[in-house]
């Protein structure tokens, strides 16, 4: 690499609609960390719908030292495979490096393919730079000393030790201009007409065994300097024209003492915002901190409620209780914040019983706070071998079984993970131990609930449409008649009611 200009191609394969595109923050952070030693070009498949052709043209016109592909689990695995095959077809000798959640959580499977040469796990800035340096020097023995990579030594898959979480990113402003027109990423949402995506902190202090964040960062978190947060938000507001912010922090509210300086920044900037939060963190805020939250114009907080079963919450190391979920719903109502509460139904032990108990708990939550938004997922834990070491043995002690009682064999390659049944598993939409009856029961309950309480995040449907759907579903919800809601299914097709599980804000 030392004999010529160094160029890196970074690809964000398609995972959402053009309307749902947000800043590819991970690739922007990576590009910022590589400057000025490398010149990075970003191809975002969420905006460029012909990104495979764009990738081929870029590689045919210019030599790149490596191609980095950002890969989430679920549907993006397929588009990541397509991207990698497109690279191989035009530039077969160019190293292909996968990074992101998928290669972090499924470390061996991610590189078990001829179109993936290396995988970067966890926070990638330093790891990626060190890998590029080793590849440029031609010394494969140097690979063994790089924390956070998975690679192949002949037929052997080598998993180097994990890298510790460092400061979130470069103190410099992200290179938004590398995306062409960054204003194209400002979306119209219920928060505002020009909502920008932003990530202030990385990681989460907690170690929930079902959570990809815990698997990626192992209970570590890093908060930003308040001055940097304020500089970035003012640039997004005053230079780019953003009027609201969707925070992609894995857990926005950390310890109150550390959060107060950040909340003071948000209170000065005053752009409506959405974030992830924990019930216990919100319940622990003082009145003065809640006053800052009010001034900052927090509209909605996505809170992982998970289950009304405290024993289950303890077994998955959630660290919260069901009474805290109920209390935070009431607290948010008093402070004018909409709690978006997510639940995981149908766990492997007593899936039908736990599902019905969760339905009743959700109904009680709606009585406490009718404005609470409810998201229902299927409980799909990570494979035991992909959990942090502290949780691995406990999870492996009781193997997961399918509906017939057979041990579940998880995929061992990206191709297998791109099959629909495993896409659904990764997206918490289905699990091998669910019966068809239970699938219908969950689907029907979600339909009735979503029609009875249409989401405020749906800005396309009129208030009249939402009111009509709510009235149509009222009798079913009141009488708990969830089965065969044919009239609601038909109505949803006609009005295309948004589903927050798919669209987000």
Q: Peptide bond preceding 89: is omega within 30 degrees of 0, i.e. cis? A: no
Taking a C-beta distance cutoff of 8 angstroms, is the pair 202, 168 a contact? Answer: yes
pLDDT exceeds 70 at position 389:
no
Query: Could you give the CA distance from residue 488 to residue 466 in angstroms, rounded to a whole number?
Result: 12
Range with the lowest mean pLDDT among 40-49, 149-158, 465-474, 495-504? 495-504
* Residue listed under structure tokens 């969760």: 358
Look at the alpha carbons of 260, 265, 268, 274 in this order and tell me if their dihedral is positive or negative.
Answer: negative
Cα dist from 385 to 96, 106, 261, 379, whole Å: 25, 9, 39, 18
Q: Are strands 149-153 and 156-159 parallel, antiparallel or unpaired?
A: antiparallel
Q: Between β-strands 244-247 and 273-277, what pairing exists: parallel, antiparallel or unpaired?
A: parallel
Of 107, 84, 108, residue with least CA distance to 97: 84
Average pLDDT, the chain: 93
Q: What does the pLDDT look like over 434-469, one tens digit per residue?
A: 999 999 999 999 999 999 999 999 888 889 999 999
Query: Tens digits of per-residue pLDDT, 191-215?
Result: 999 999 999 999 999 988 888 898 8
> What pLDDT band is residue 2 in, cutting at 50, 70 and 90?
very low
Q: What is the pTM of this model?
A: 0.94
Average pLDDT over residues 62-71: 97
b or e along 311-341 (b: 16 or more beta carbons within 10 Å of the residue's beta carbon)? ebbebbbbebebebbbbbbebbbeeebbbbb
Give the H/E segment covering residue 275: strand 273-277
Per-residue confidence (pLDDT) for residue 504, from 0 to 100:
63
Most confident of 18-22, 221-225, 340-344, 392-396: 340-344
What is the DSSP-derived secondary structure letter of residue 401? B
pLDDT in tens, 108-159: 999 999 999 999 999 999 999 999 999 988 777 899 999 999 999 999 999 9
């Amino acid at each position: 690499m030392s004999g010529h200009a160094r160029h890196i191609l970074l690809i964000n394969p398609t995972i959402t609609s053009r309307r749902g595109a947000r800043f590819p923050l991970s690739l922007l952070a990576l590009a910022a960390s590589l400057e000025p030693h490398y010149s990075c070009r970003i191809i975002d498949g969420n905006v460029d719908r012909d990104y495979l052709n764009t990738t081929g043209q870029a590689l045919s016109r210019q030599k790149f030292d490596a191609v980095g592909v950002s890969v989430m689990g679920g549907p993006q695995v397929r588009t990541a495979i397509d991207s990698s095959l497109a690279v191989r077809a035009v530039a077969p000798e160019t190293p292909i490096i996968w990074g992101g959640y998928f290669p972090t959580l499924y470390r061996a499977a991610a590189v078990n393919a001829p179109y993936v040469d290396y995988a970067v796990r966890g926070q990638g800035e330093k790891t990626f730079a060190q890998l590029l340096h080793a590849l440029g020097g031609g010394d494969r023995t140097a690979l063994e000393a790089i924390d956070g990579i998975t690679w192949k030594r002949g037929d052997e898959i080598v998993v180097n030790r994990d890298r510790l979480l460092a400061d979130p990113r470069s103190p410099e402003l992200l290179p938004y201009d590398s995306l062409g027109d960054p204003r194209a990423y400002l979306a119209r949402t219920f928060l505002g007409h020009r909502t920008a995506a932003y990530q202030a902190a990385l990681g989460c202090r907690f170690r929930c065994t079902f959570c990809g964040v815990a698997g990626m960062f192992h209970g570590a978190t890093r908060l930003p300097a308040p001055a940097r947060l304020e500089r970035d938000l003012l640039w997004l507001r005053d230079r780019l024209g953003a009027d609201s912010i969707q925070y992609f922090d894995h857990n926005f509210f950390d310890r109150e003492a550390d959060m107060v300086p950040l909340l003071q920044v948000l209170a000065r900037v005053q752009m409506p915002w959405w974030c992830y939060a924990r019930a216990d963190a919100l319940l622990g805020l003082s009145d003065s901190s809640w006053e800052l939250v009010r001034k900052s114009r927090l509209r909605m907080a996505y809170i992982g409620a998970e289950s009304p079963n405290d024993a289950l919450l303890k077994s998955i190391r959630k660290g919260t209780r069901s009474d805290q979920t109920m209390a935070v719903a009431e607290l948010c109502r008093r402070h004018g914040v909409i709690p978006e509460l997510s639940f995981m139904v149908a766990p492997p032990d007593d899936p039908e019983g736990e599902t019905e108990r969760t339905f009743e708990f959700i109904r009680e939550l709606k009585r406490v706070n009718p404005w609470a938004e409810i998201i229902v997922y299927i409980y799909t834990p990570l494979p035991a071998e992909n959990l942090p070491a502290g949780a691995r043995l406990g999870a492996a002690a009781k193997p997961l079984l399918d509906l017939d009682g057979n041990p579940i064999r998880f995929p061992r390659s990206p191709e297998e993970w791109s099959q629909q049944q495993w896409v659904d598993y990764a997206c918490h939409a289905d699990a091998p131990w669910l019966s068809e009856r239970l699938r219908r029961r969950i689907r029907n309950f979600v339909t009735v609930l979503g029609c009875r309480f249409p989401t405020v995040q749906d800005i396309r449907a009129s208030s009249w449409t939402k009111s009509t759907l709510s009235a149509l579903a009222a009798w079913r919800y009141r009488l708990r008649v969830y089965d065969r809601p044919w009239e609601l299914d038909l109505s949803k097709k006609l009005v295309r009611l948004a589903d927050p599980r798919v669209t987000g804000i």
